[in-house]
Structure 1
Amino acid sequence: MIKRTLFFGNPAYLSTKHEQLIINFPKQNRDEVTIPIEDLGYIVLENPQITITNGLLTKLIKNKTAVITCDKQHLPCSFLQPLVGHSEQTERIRYQLNASLPLKKNLWQQTISVKIRNQAMHLIKYGKNGLKLTRWAGEVKSGDAGNHEAIAAAYYFQNLFAIKEFSRNQKGVPPNNLLNYGYAVLRAVTARALISSGMLPSVGIFHHNKYNAFCLADDIMEPYRIYVDAMVYEITQSFKEYKELSGDLKSILLKIPTIDVQIDGKKSPLMIAMSRTTNSLYECFLGSSRKILYPEYE
């Protein structure tokens, strides 16, 4: 079942009754809104004047609904996660923590190879030169010892947007603002899937910053970034003004969990595909598989 994403950009009072999310707007002359909690996958809380009851938070967590809060720049900054996301969580975490270094290097090699291949296909789709990326995707070694990820990313972003000397930088010129927002949403989707698969989002296969609580999410989302890139590229072609992250642009980017992707030869909503990816990752930690299942951009 495809879960809904709700975005709250205005003051609101959120509570619960009879397994329903109850929405009231104290500063607006609007009727009360009721939504089944079981239908919810993601809730984004942007306005600082939003009140949410503890009873609702408990029900959302039990439903594995990702509750995302935003900072003063209106960017997602936190993600509420359950203490227990899977019935076999303890055993699954043990396999994750005991993963050998050669295995993690191999998994990172697979991840980066797919990411670069997807970047190549995205450039080729729009008549841009992606042949270098296609070659580099096949040259990635164990652990990406040659740092092909960084080399490919620099080439990819320089050729994707028709902006002189554009580079990917969180504080860089637009459309970096759109990429920041889209990647933050994608990160939450990834973390939610990892928790549901019984793993710790903080223990990565490559990323290992002690200040980062989502290292594994940052690892696994890499091949999925292309879908944010594609959405942002379409925005730059369709909207004359995208320097400011408007409500309309946010509503587009919040559709990321439900867009269709190609995985294992079939179309699937991204949030479902991500769960297949995280389950395949656990199988690699378990030893029953050696391959992570990632989507292929087309």
Structure 2
Amino acid sequence: MLKKTILLENKASLTIKNLQLVIKSELRESTIPIEDIGFLVLDNPEIYLSIPAMNLLIENNTSIIICNANHLPNGMFLNLNSHHIQQEIFRNQIEASLPLKKQLWQQTIVEKITNQGILLEKITGNKNSFEFLCSKVLSGDTSNMEGVAASQYWKSFFDIKFKRERFGNYPNNFLNYGYAILRAATARALSGSGLLNTLGIHHKSKYNAFALADDIMEPFRPIVDEKVFELMQNYEEQELNTQLKSELLNILTRTVYFKEEKSTLMVALQKTASSLQQCYTGERKKIKYPKLWS
């Protein structure tokens, strides 16, 4: 079942009644079944969320995303007990060999560069060398083809002068919001497969609680890039508003393609996370990433 994404920007009270989330604001009161909610984005400092409601949401693997004063996602709550063999999965993940992790990272970067190349050709109408860069990605990407590709990618992607920076000028704010949503969706899928988000295959910062999500989301980033490019063509606004946030949240229901089927991004991330778990157990050798375009 396709889960709903709920964005709340006004003062509200969130409680629970008969397995329904009750959302009460100054203007109205509405309810929605807890089991239908995949993501709850809270973007107002005066939103009240009861502990029983939070617990029930998390038990149903809802990702609760909290925004900061700049209205950008700043943190999230995830289920830490979402799989029946949690300890065994953690152990496999912790004991994964360095060669396995380097091979998985190599595959991940090849997928990312491939998707960047395809999107760049779609946008510019020009051929590029990204297929060649893919062929140069070594185990663990020790030659940093990811960085080489990123440099070429952002130089050509937008018509305006642009530098990709976390706290940079427009449209970095659009990209940051989209990536934060993608990160939350990836973390939710990984948690649902019993994996520990803190333990990455490449990202290793001791300050990063979502290193694995940062790893696995890499090939999906062009989905956000494509959406931001589209928004820039259709909207003059350079600051995020409710409409633009809703548009960016729609990436979660975007269609992607596996060999045997197509699915929404939200569902595809679950398949990708499950395949990674199988890589740790030795059941698979490669992560199951979808194609982003048919």
Residue in 1 aligned with 2:272? Answer: 277
Residue in 1 aligned with 2:174? Answer: 178
Which residue identity lines up with residue 178 of structure 1 in the other structure?
F
Cα distance, 1:171 vs structure 2? 1.2
Which residue identity lines up with residue 74 of structure 2 in the other structure?
C
Residue in 2 aligned with 1:216? Answer: 212
Contact 1:121 1:130 in 2 (8 A): no
Residue in 2 aligned with 1:167? Answer: 163
- Output the CA distance in 1 between the equivalents of 2:248 and 2:170: 15
Residue in 2 aligned with 1:122? Answer: 119
Residue in 2 aligned with 1:61? Answer: 58
- Output the CA distance in 2 between the equivalents of 1:100 and 1:264: 29
Which residue identity lines up with residue 11 of structure 2 in the other structure?
P
Cα distance, 1:85 vs structure 2? 1.5
Cα distance, 1:266 vs structure 2? 2.5
- Output the CA distance in 2 between the equivalents of 1:129 and 1:160: 11
- Output the CA distance in 2 between the equivalents of 1:203 and 1:264: 29
Give the gaps of 5 or more residues in structure 1.
Answer: none
Cα distance, 1:260 vs structure 2? 0.9
- Output the CA distance in 2 between the equivalents of 1:221 and 1:11: 32
Q: Tell which deviates more after alignment, 127-136 or 143-152.
A: 127-136
Residue in 1 aligned with 2:104? Answer: 107
- Output the CA distance in 2 between the equivalents of 1:171 and 1:51: 29
SS of residue in 2 equivalent to 1:207: coil
- Output the CA distance in 2 between the equivalents of 1:163 and 1:263: 34
Residue in 2 aligned with 1:15? Answer: 15
- Length-normalised TM-score, structure 1: 0.96
Give the gaps of 5 or more residues in structure 2.
Answer: none
**Pairing 1:76-115 to 2, within 5 Å after superposition:** 76-115=73-112
Contact 1:223 1:295 in 2 (8 A): no
Residue in 2 aligned with 1:150? Answer: 147
Residue in 2 aligned with 1:262? Answer: 257
| Percent identical | 48
Cα distance, 1:264 vs structure 2? 3.1
- Output the CA distance in 1 between the equivalents of 2:79 and 2:123: 41
Contact 2:93 2:195 in 1 (8 A): yes
Residue in 1 aligned with 2:190? Answer: 194
Which residue identity lines up with residue 110 of structure 1 in the other structure?
Q
Q: Say whether 1:51 aligns with 2:48.
A: yes
How many residues are treated as equivalent by the alignment?
293
- Output the CA distance in 1 between the equivalents of 2:205 and 2:269: 23
Contact 1:154 1:167 in 2 (8 A): no
- Output the CA distance in 2 between the equivalents of 1:276 and 1:83: 19
Cα distance, 1:240 vs structure 2? 1.7
Cα distance, 1:265 vs structure 2? 4.5
Cα distance, 1:55 vs structure 2? 1.0
SS of residue in 2 equivalent to 1:13: strand
SS of residue in 2 equivalent to 1:79: strand
Which residue identity lines up with residue 166 of structure 2 in the other structure?
Q
- Output the CA distance in 2 between the equivalents of 1:131 and 1:295: 22
Cα distance, 1:124 vs structure 2? 1.2
Contact 1:121 1:297 in 2 (8 A): no
Which residue, 223, 227, 244 being the options, matches 2:239? Answer: 244
Residue in 2 aligned with 1:207? Answer: 203
Root-mean-square deviation over aligned CA pairs: 1.0
- Output the CA distance in 1 between the equivalents of 2:168 and 2:52: 40
Which residue identity lines up with residue 247 of structure 2 in the other structure?
I
Contact 1:224 1:295 in 2 (8 A): no
Contact 1:128 1:160 in 2 (8 A): no
Cα distance, 1:228 vs structure 2? 0.6
Cα distance, 1:57 vs structure 2? 0.7
1:189-220 Cα distance to aligned partner (Å, 9 max, x none): 01101111011001000000000000000000
Contact 1:264 1:293 in 2 (8 A): no
Contact 2:82 2:194 in 1 (8 A): yes
Q: Tell which deviates more after alignment, 78-87 or 35-44.
A: 78-87
Which residue identity lines up with residue 81 of structure 2 in the other structure?
V
SS of residue in 1 equivalent to 2:207: coil
Cα distance, 1:269 vs structure 2? 0.4
- Output the CA distance in 2 between the equivalents of 1:264 and 1:105: 25
